A and B are shown apart, each in its own frame.
Chain A
Amino acid sequence: MAKSVEQTVAELADRDAIRELPQRYCDCVWRGDIAGLVDLFTDDGAFIVVGRKRENKTAGRAELLRVYSTLTAGDVLPRPYIHNHVVDLKGGGRAAGRCYVELRNAKKNFEWTGTGFYEDEYAKAGDQWKFKSRTFHMSHGQ
């Protein structure tokens, strides 16, 4: 059955709002806006980093704030550029997506420092889309 205009518009609006999430995430990383970044997650949202040998999971607002606050502490001050975002609406205020990142390091003359991809789950909280989970897979790091 063909979608109604209302359904089509609602889906376009959902896609548009979801498409903004990874862009806003990168914008927050560039500006060091950790509170803004964590606000992009649901209250119980999770950030997972998958490495070659292990997986680190951080969940919940307080833990996300703590972990993201260490973003500037190491040798890498990431400056991300996001690409290739695909979105799959699942219905019922749920969606999934994938997007690809290139990273430069502001602490080292903006050298190219790695690449990888995010596997995302999105959830609609009230009238706002948020990250339910972000799983980062590092494909290559310098």
Chain B
Amino acid sequence: MAKSIEQTVAELADREAIRDLPLKYCDCVWRGDIEGIANIFAENGTFTVIDLKQQERSNTGRANLLKSFKEGLAAASPRPYIHNHVIELKGSGRATGRCYLDLRIASDNFKWGGAGWYDDEYVKVGDEWKFQTRRFHHAHMEPR
């Protein structure tokens, strides 16, 4: 059955808002806006890093996210560029997506730092889309 114009518009708006999340995330990382990063997660949101040995480190909840992002950004001065974002709307205020990272390091003359991808789950909280989970997979990280 063909979608109504209202459904089409609602889906376009959802996709557009979701597309903004990884962009805002990168923007916040570049500007060192730790609170801004944490705010684009749901209150009980989780950020997980999966390294090349498939070992996982997770942080859940606003306070833990603030702490871990503060430490992570201070240690590495990352300058991310995000690409290839694909989105699947799941209905009922849920969606998933993937996007791919090209990383440079500001404290090292903006040398190329590595690559990886994010497996994301998005959730609509009120009328705003947020990250429910972000799982960052290292594909390659330059030795530092």
Q: Is the CB of B100 within 8 A of A110?
A: no
A64 CA to B98 CA in the complex, in Å? 24
Q: Is the CB of B83 within 8 A of A110?
A: no
User: Is A57 interfacial (CB-CB < 8 Å)?
Assistant: no
Question: Which of A23-31, A45-53, A86-94, A132-140 sits within the interface?
Answer: A23-31
Query: Which of A6, A13, A83, A104 sits near B12, CB closer than 8 Å?
Result: A13
Q: How far is the CB of A44 from chain B (nearest CB, A)?
A: 25
Range class of the A interface residue count:
20 to 34
Query: Which of B9, B12, B100, B114 sits near A26, CB closer than 8 Å?
Result: B100
User: Is B86 interfacial (CB-CB < 8 Å)?
Assistant: yes
Q: Is the CB of B12 within 8 A of A12?
A: yes
User: Is A16 interfacial (CB-CB < 8 Å)?
Assistant: yes
What is A's interface to B at a CB cutoff of 8 Å? 5-6, 9-10, 12-13, 16, 20, 23-24, 26-27, 30, 79-83, 102, 104, 106, 109-110, 112, 127
Q: How far is the CB of A76 from chain B (nearest CB, A)?
A: 14
Listed by A's residue number, 18 A-B pairs whose Cβ atoms lie within 8 Å are: A5-B5, A9-B8, A9-B9, A10-B8, A13-B12, A20-B86, A27-B98, A27-B100, A30-B100, A30-B117, A79-B115, A80-B84, A81-B84, A81-B100, A106-B140, A109-B140, A110-B140, A127-B2
A9 CA to B7 CA in the complex, in Å? 11
B95-109 interface bits toward A, Cβ cutoff 8 Å, 1 = contact, 0 = none? 000101010000000
Q: Across the A-B interface, how many residue pairs have beta carbons closer than 8 Å?
A: 52
Interface size on B, residues (CB 8 A): 22
A26 CA to B99 CA in the complex, in Å? 10
9 more A-B contacts (CB under 8 A) besides A13-B8, A102-B102? A12-B12, A24-B86, A27-B86, A30-B100, A79-B115, A79-B139, A81-B100, A109-B140, A110-B139
Q: How far is the CB of B2 from chain A (nearest CB, A)?
A: 8
> In the complex, which residues of chain B have a beta carbon less than 8 angstroms from the beta carbon of A26?
83-84, 100
Q: Is the CB of B114 within 8 A of A110?
A: yes
> In the complex, which residues of chain A have a beta carbon less than 8 angstroms from the beta carbon of B9?
9
A26 CA to B101 CA in the complex, in Å? 12
> In the complex, which residues of chain B have a beta carbon less than 8 angstroms from the beta carbon of A127?
2
User: Is B85 interfacial (CB-CB < 8 Å)?
Assistant: yes
> In the complex, which residues of chain A have a beta carbon less than 8 angstroms from the beta carbon of B135?
none
Q: Is the CB of A23 within 8 A of B85?
A: yes
User: Is B62 interfacial (CB-CB < 8 Å)?
Assistant: no
Q: Is the CB of B5 within 8 A of A9?
A: yes
> In the complex, which residues of chain A have a beta carbon less than 8 angstroms from the beta carbon of B8?
9-10, 13
